[in-house]
Structure 1
Amino acid sequence: MALLPEVELATDEQKVSYGFGLQFGDQLLRNRFDGLDLQAVIAGMQHWYQQQQSLLADGELNPSYDVIKARQQAAASALAVQQQQLAEKFLAANAARPEVTTTTSGLQYEVLEAGGGASPGPRSTVVTHYHGTFVDGTVFDSSVQRGEPAQFGIHQVIPGWTEALQLMGIGDKWRITCPPALAYGEQGAGDSIPPNTPLVFEIHLLEIRD
């Protein structure tokens, strides 16, 4: 890990200046690409801030922007195809398990505990405990780990959840597997969930609020 540069943060001006740097750093993280040269970034900032001059004209910059954009799009497309292939393989294997039921939409579910209570409707608000993972077991979201149940409207969640919850009764605990089309699809969800990713949830339906 690279050593962080030393900086003095004694005055308000220094602190606010440092805050600007954090904002620029966050923007770089959100737009990062392989080969990003931080020293070139700093040089560009200094050239423009101190002299309002650039060593490169737009005609020199724009083709390079296009190269990097095309490279990123190609990498994203390749990853999406790979994810789709892995999703199909996992879903086929999971569907073959005798304890798993697959609905007409492609949702897969397994009853872990049967509560036998009433089922929510399409506009109900419910309280659940859940544990969400990728197919390799990596946790991406969990009310269980946070130690606090989640409340939400059934119509406000991903399609796989909307379908499963209306099939469940209060007290039921299910493990559901959502194909990408019933989760976040080809777009994914920010940096946390890649495109074409099936998601696995253990859901415990605790309460129907209305």
Structure 2
Amino acid sequence: MKRILLAVCLSGIAGASYAQTKTTAKKPAVKKTTAVTKTSTLKMGGLKSALDSTSYAFGTSIGASLKTTGLSTLNYDVLLKGLKDSFTGDKVLLTQQQAQQCISEAITKASSIKNKAEEAANKIKYAPMMKEGQDFLEQNKKRAGVQTTASGLQYEVLTAGTGVKPQATDSVLVHYKGTLLNGKQFDSSYDRGEPISFPLNRVIPGWTEGVQLMPAGSKYKFFIPYNLAYGERGAGADIPPYSTLIFEVELLKVNGK
């Protein structure tokens, strides 16, 4: 709901700015004494009328929505000027295109900073899980039958098939189950009672690479490092960030492109 409100507010501000460039109509200026009285009222923390309450409510809603984008601060005086210019018909300082460009660049930059901060925090928080995965893979590759590719993907042939091998652009029909290193299962087509088809180039990199090694009719076990799985962010509530994953995959059929 907050994101919807934000989109409405931002598009409204940009649209109003554009509209105001086409008009020069102005409302009568508010007397200075009135402005001083309202400022004093707000400084005392009081909302003396329905208009005050409504105005303040819009301000908090817009502020809360903007904050979800990752923005940490704005020039509030200039923000208020933009709102006022749009409402009163004063000449706006930016065209619609300029306003949209400013908004887009600010949100993109703020989101990037926010994401980097989250990743840095997660790297510290999940450092033990990263080490657990690295230690597991280091030991696992020494087991007989386990092979390691150049990317770091490890696999073990459980059943060797004789069919055709898929390409990355093919769709495949598979049965599978996935677990964390602690044995907790997070997904299984076997439990759902039916295999699944999907394009091989639209899954995690470990699957895209690994299933291409399998002739149809094969069953492999994959040991996938976090960077070939769901990376620094994980997936939902069941797969934490930096998780090394284990999959048993049975390639039933190569559907083709």
TM-score (normalised: structure 2): 0.53
Match of 2:184 among 138, 145, 151: 138
1:37 matched residue in structure 2: none
CA drift of 1:116 comes to: 1.2
**In structure 1, distance between residues paired with 2:233 and 2:192:** 27
**In structure 2, distance between residues paired with 1:140 and 1:165:** 19
Partner of 1:167, secondary structure, is coil
Map 1:27-46; keep pairs closer than 5 Å.
Answer: none
| Unmatched 5+ stretches in structure 2 | 1-52, 54-59, 61-66, 73-116
**In structure 1, distance between residues paired with 2:245 and 2:217:** 22
Letter in 2 for 1:198: T
1:205 matched residue in structure 2: 251
CA drift of 1:75 comes to: 6.7
**In structure 2, distance between residues paired with 1:136 and 1:80:** 15
**In structure 2, distance between residues paired with 1:144 and 1:165:** 18
1:115 matched residue in structure 2: 161
2:220 matched residue in structure 1: 174
CA drift of 1:193 comes to: 1.0
CA drift of 1:76 comes to: 3.6
CA RMSD across the alignment:
2.5
Partner of 1:208, secondary structure, is strand
**In structure 2, distance between residues paired with 1:93 and 1:137:** 17
**In structure 2, distance between residues paired with 1:189 and 1:93:** 26
**CA shift digits 1:118-165 (9 cap, x unpaired):** 001110000000010001111000001111101100001100000011
Q: How many residues align?
A: 148
Letter in 1 for 2:238: S
Identity %: 45
TM-score (normalised: structure 1): 0.64
**In structure 1, distance between residues paired with 2:143 and 2:153:** 14
Q: Which has the higher helix share?
A: 2
Letter in 2 for 1:120: P
**In structure 2, distance between residues paired with 1:163 and 1:76:** 27
1:127 aligns with 2:167: no
Match of 2:229 among 183, 187, 194: 183
Contact 1:183 1:198 in 2 (8 A): yes
Pair 1:77–1:102, CA change in 2 (3 A): closer
**In structure 2, distance between residues paired with 1:122 and 1:76:** 31
- The ranges of structure 1 where at least 4 consecutive aligned residues each deviate by more than 4 angstroms after the TM superposition are 72-75
CA drift of 1:186 comes to: 1.1
**In structure 1, distance between residues paired with 2:255 and 2:141:** 32
| Unmatched 5+ stretches in structure 1 | 1-51, 53-57, 67-71
Partner of 2:126, secondary structure, is helix
Letter in 2 for 1:153: P
